[in-house]
Structure 1
Amino acid sequence: MKQARMIIDRAFKVSEVDKRIYGSFIEHLGRAVYDGIYQPGNPLSDEDGFRTDVLNMVKELNVPIVRYPGGNFVSNFFWEDSVGPVEERPVRLELAWRSLEQNKIGLNEFSKWLKKADADMMMAVNLGTRGVADACNLLEYCNHPGGTKYSDLRIKHGVKDPHNVKVWCLGNEMDGDWQIGHKTMHEYGRLSQETAKAMKLIDPTIELVSCGSSNLDMPTFPEWEATTLGYNYDYVDYVSLHQYYGNLNNDTADFLALSDDMDQFIRSVIATCDFVRAKKRGKKDINLSFDEWNVWFHTREADDEFMEKDPWHIAPPLLEDQYSFEDALLVGLMLITLMKHADRVKMACLAQLVNVIAPIMTEKDGGKAWKQTIFYPFMHASRYGRGMVLQPVIDTPVHDTKEHENVTDLSSVAVWNQADEELTVFAVNRNIDEDMELVTDLRSMEGYQLIEHIVLENNDMKACNSASGEAVIPITVSRSKVDGGIMTSVLNKASWNVIRLKKQK
């Protein structure tokens, strides 16, 4: 059996985890809103039409912030259509996903849902077909206490207290030619600068996210970040990153190496942000909001064909990827990558939350809700990955794949919850053929003893969950032991591992 060694020391601190890295995303896309979180008439829905079974699963994931209402949807979103008496709201052509938007769920309803889900809102503004004035009006509607046109309109709509939305995205994927109202980097830089300047005059307490590159392979990356931050550095707090991966070549070993690309993407954006800071003689860091990430592309061709040949449906079943065990492994690896960069990645959104490339699915026509394979690593990270990230020193075997060299068999990070005196080691064995013995030096964590070793594993990399049953679920195993400050663990091939320890009194 191969062996990896790791040292975890309480002195090797990276940063406290910002809980918002366990955020998610609800877009007016497919069945995410209608038939997903909202389904009046379902026996499991509450008095507001929100599905309680879905809400309970969202609470299991402990999601602290949810990005809304898009996504590509936001670039032709008229927020005024989504407020006021529901029966007076117009139906619009939704251009991003070529659907019909009824506006039965809007800003105020979604805010009510968030309260039930114990989450905050990350609001995106339309900088595609709209601009400065509309963003300011929306902010006034949401955050100003009263006595002005739009704050009084909110009160007239039955919402006396401000929503106090603190995080605002300045548009979405404006570098992409697929975006309604696509901008060049100079156009977006100027527009975002002026929008940010005006919004912070209205509410100086808000945090603003500048659009970064839509993915690592965009031809303008990282010049886009360098140029746009050159305009808006003084006003924004974060720059966004988006990245989706798929096993397009059916090569599992190479697929599991893609988290290394994500790591390099993060490092490159950090370097670009620091370049802009140096160039401007600035005093603040621009931190990162990785506000779209996931595995995707299982149904992309069918989705594109449907939107092209049969558009303008209400809540059509789009992007309903069914996730496999190997997808769950990559999601776990991506979570480890986010945690490793907790010093600069302060927010992240698993895209999305329900039905659309999501950990939670609902059957059509009022059926049950169920958990996809990717639900579990996200739940583990959100539940146990809160505290101080400790940088492990790792000595591990490596392997090459078709597109990647020196891929570490072991990917791991540790999070120390000092208040509860708990330590959690997250680890993935990326070797798909061989088990591994992991020897971890914990001598600096004196008195910490094993609580449990949780694994997610399956001999079938393509195993999926469904409404009729779950083939991929976490189990607790007896594969770790601690003796004299040294922990010895067995990590089975291609496995997600959560090893929890607690200081004994």
Structure 2
Amino acid sequence: MTRASVIVDKDFVLSDLDRRVFGQFAEHMGRCIYGGIYEPGHPTADEDGFRQDVIELVKELGCTIVRYPGGNMLSGYNWEDGIGPKDKRPRRLELSRFVTETNQMGTDEFIKWCRKTGIEPMLATNVASRDLNGAWGHVEYCNIRGGTTMSDRRRANGFEEPHNVKFWCVGNEPDGRWQIAQKTAREYGRIVAEAAKIIKWIDKDIVVAASASSNRNMSHYGDWERVVLENAFDYIDFLAPHTYFKNNPDTMEFFANIDLMDAYIKETVAMCDAVAAQKRSPKRIMLSFDEWNIAARWKYEDKFAKKGEWPEVLPLIEDVYTVEDALLIGGAMQTLINNGDRVKAACFAQLINVIAPIMTQDNGPAWRQTIFWPLSLASRYGRGRIMRQTVSSEYTTTKAAADIPYLVSTVLHQEEEGQTVVFALNRNLHEPMDLTVALKGLGATRILATHEIANADLKATNTRDNPDNIRPGTITDVALEGETLSARLKPASWNVIVVN
């Protein structure tokens, strides 16, 4: 038996939780868009070609904001190709995966899909292979009511009211050698500053995210952030890091990705604040962690079409996730919340089919992967204030992140409803955990709900033929006495306890 304890107090709060952290990413890649979101002719497709079975699962997932359209394809993308009559839209070579982009779904369709699903759109605009007029026109088209060339073009396309997109990303991973028009930090810093300036002149209520280093292992990590921020600090609101967790056959080393993510967040925040100090500025740059997931398990050469073939749709990195993966994703989601004083948005990459929580079959069913459940439960209960915690837990040693605690805990409290939620990951693979949580001054009197993700087989999955193999259960041993919550958590389990 392992033991752990958490103490929270009503008067000690880290931050309000921004629900944009429960976002997702949808890129024109593989079957995320074509065959995922958009499949005219599917038995559940509506008049716009959107799969209704997918929409229902996206709603259940609790997704709050979606970043679109890329991703690596953004660096060669012309947003104008995806508007207007579909039979007149150009077919383009899409060089990030060597496929043909048909442009049958674009900005207007994405906004319409977001409205149908109750999701906030986050649009990315290309400043790699295009000049600033591309971003200028994109924002004008979306956010100006009328009376200008681009806004009247939107109205002529059947959208009388502006789309009013308030969250914009300028570029994507511009430091990567895999990008069209790769940039140095100074080149990108200058262009993102000018793009952000233009965007905010068009609509002062927009917030803008700039790209951090493509990942923590880039050789210029740190220098990139400093130079970009020195150039663009006054114009941007968010810096956007990305991470894809390293696969490791050793489960505890795999789980150490949670601690590496926490360190990455804190390092990036420190870089932002160093530039703020250099500028003697009270402004604080927030983080939009707009790509995060487990790294794809496909071979590198299988992530692209064969050169010269240029298929319209190429199924890519359709990984099948395990219970072990679900536990990691649950813990990583907690890490984003636990850093919610600075992480104000996040996008799980990606939403459908491509390393995704939702899978579909062409002209067939859609189903939930194991990782669907921690993302869904976190969004369902993730509201209110993030409580500061005093945590005591036994530790284990890993190569990736040295000593890591068995317990990963998160406590949220909604003052208006008097509801408190505890998320708890037990990373001990062999022993149950006796957990106590002191909820001082939070007024808890009863247990409302419990959820548990656990299975003796950490490699168990959900599939098309067995879509409900892994579903959340309930915690059998849980009690609330006075202000003390106690629970016995199974080995290798991700847990939710709701009280009020």
Q: TM-score, normalised by structure 2?
A: 0.98
1:142-291 pair list within 5 angstroms: 142-247=142-247, 249-291=248-290
Corresponding position: 1:465 with 2:462: yes
Q: Secondary structure at the match of 2:302?
A: helix
Determine if contact 2:421/2:498 at 8 Å carries over to the other structure.
yes
1:443-482 pair list within 5 angstroms: 443-469=440-466, 470-482=468-480
Deviations 1:198-223 (A, max 9, x none): 22111111100011111111111111
Q: 2:75 is aligned with what amino acid?
A: S
Corresponding position: 1:112 with 2:109: no
Q: CA shift at 1:301, angstroms? A: 3.4
Deviations 1:310-337 (A, max 9, x none): 7511121011111111111110011110
Of all paired residues, the percent bearing the same amino acid is 44
Instruction: State how far apart, in whole Å, the 2-side matches of 1:310 and 1:458 are.
Output: 45
**Which residue number corresponds to residue 12 of structure 1?**
12
Q: CA shift at 1:471, angstroms? A: 2.2
Determine if contact 1:122/1:165 at 8 Å carries over to the other structure.
yes
**Which residue number corresponds to residue 426 of structure 1?**
423
Deviations 1:7-56 (A, max 9, x none): 12112201111110001111010101110011111111111111111000
Instruction: State how far apart, in whole Å, the 2-side matches of 1:355 and 1:298 are.
Output: 14
Q: TM-score, normalised by structure 1?
A: 0.97
1:53-452 pair list within 5 angstroms: 53-247=53-247, 249-301=248-300, 303-304=302-303, 306-308=304-306, 311-364=309-362, 366-452=363-449
Q: 2:205 is aligned with what amino acid?
A: T
Determine if contact 1:300/1:319 at 8 Å carries over to the other structure.
no
Gapped runs of 5+ residues in structure 1?
Answer: none
Instruction: State how far apart, in whole Å, the 2-side matches of 1:290 and 1:141 are.
Output: 26
Q: CA shift at 1:303, angstroms? A: 2.5
Determine if contact 2:69/2:123 at 8 Å carries over to the other structure.
yes
Instruction: State how far apart, in whole Å, the 2-side matches of 1:89 and 1:252 are.
Output: 48
Q: CA shift at 1:255, angstroms? A: 0.3
Instruction: State how far apart, in whole Å, the 2-side matches of 1:220 and 1:448 are.
Output: 52
Moved more, 119-128 or 482-491: 482-491
Instruction: State how far apart, in whole Å, the 2-side matches of 1:67 and 1:447 are.
Output: 37
Q: CA shift at 1:444, angstroms? A: 2.3
Q: Secondary structure at the match of 1:448?
A: coil
Q: Secondary structure at the match of 1:186?
A: helix
Q: Secondary structure at the match of 2:391?
A: strand
How many residues are paired up?
A: 499
Runs of 4+ in 1 over 3 A off after TM superposition: 308-311
Q: Secondary structure at the match of 2:474?
A: strand
Determine if contact 2:418/2:444 at 8 Å carries over to the other structure.
no
Q: CA shift at 1:127, angstroms? A: 1.3
Q: Secondary structure at the match of 2:316?
A: coil
Structure 2 residue corresponding to 1:493, chosen from 472, 475, 491? 491
Determine if contact 2:10/2:440 at 8 Å carries over to the other structure.
no
Determine if contact 1:298/1:322 at 8 Å carries over to the other structure.
no
Q: Secondary structure at the match of 2:193?
A: helix
Instruction: State how far apart, in whole Å, the 2-side matches of 1:189 and 1:100 are.
Output: 31
Determine if contact 1:131/1:195 at 8 Å carries over to the other structure.
no
Q: Secondary structure at the match of 1:499?
A: strand
Q: Secondary structure at the match of 2:446?
A: strand
Q: 1:321 is aligned with what amino acid?
A: D
Q: CA shift at 1:442, angstroms? A: 2.0
Deviations 1:179-199 (A, max 9, x none): 111100011011111111122
Deviations 1:156-185 (A, max 9, x none): 111111101101101000111111111000
Instruction: State how far apart, in whole Å, the 1-side matches of 2:446 and 2:301 are.
Output: 50
Q: CA shift at 1:403, angstroms? A: 2.7
Instruction: State how far apart, in whole Å, the 1-side matches of 2:352 and 2:439 are.
Output: 39
Instruction: State how far apart, in whole Å, the 1-side matches of 2:4 and 2:78 are.
Output: 54
Determine if contact 1:24/1:349 at 8 Å carries over to the other structure.
yes
1:28-47 pair list within 5 angstroms: 28-47=28-47
Gapped runs of 5+ residues in structure 2?
Answer: none
Deviations 1:349-388 (A, max 9, x none): 0111111111000013x11000001100000111101110
Q: Secondary structure at the match of 1:472?
A: coil
Instruction: State how far apart, in whole Å, the 1-side matches of 2:287 and 2:415 are.
Output: 25
Rate the CA distance shift 1:302–1:175 in 2: closer, same or farther, 3 A: closer
Instruction: State how far apart, in whole Å, the 2-side matches of 1:485 and 1:165 are.
Output: 44
Q: 1:127 is aligned with what amino acid?
A: V
Q: Secondary structure at the match of 1:292?
A: strand
Rate the CA distance shift 1:476–1:311 in 2: closer, same or farther, 3 A: farther
Moved more, 431-440 or 48-57: 431-440
Q: CA shift at 1:302, angstroms? A: 5.6
Q: 2:492 is aligned with what amino acid?
A: A
Q: CA shift at 1:399, angstroms? A: 0.4
Q: CA shift at 1:307, angstroms? A: 2.7
Rate the CA distance shift 1:302–1:462 in 2: closer, same or farther, 3 A: farther
Deviations 1:271-293 (A, max 9, x none): 01001111112231100000000
Determine if contact 2:213/2:221 at 8 Å carries over to the other structure.
yes
Q: Secondary structure at the match of 2:165?
A: coil
Q: CA shift at 1:401, angstroms? A: 2.0
Question: Considering only aligned residues, what root-mean-square deviation do their CA atoms show, in Å?
Answer: 1.2
Rate the CA distance shift 1:302–1:472 in 2: closer, same or farther, 3 A: farther
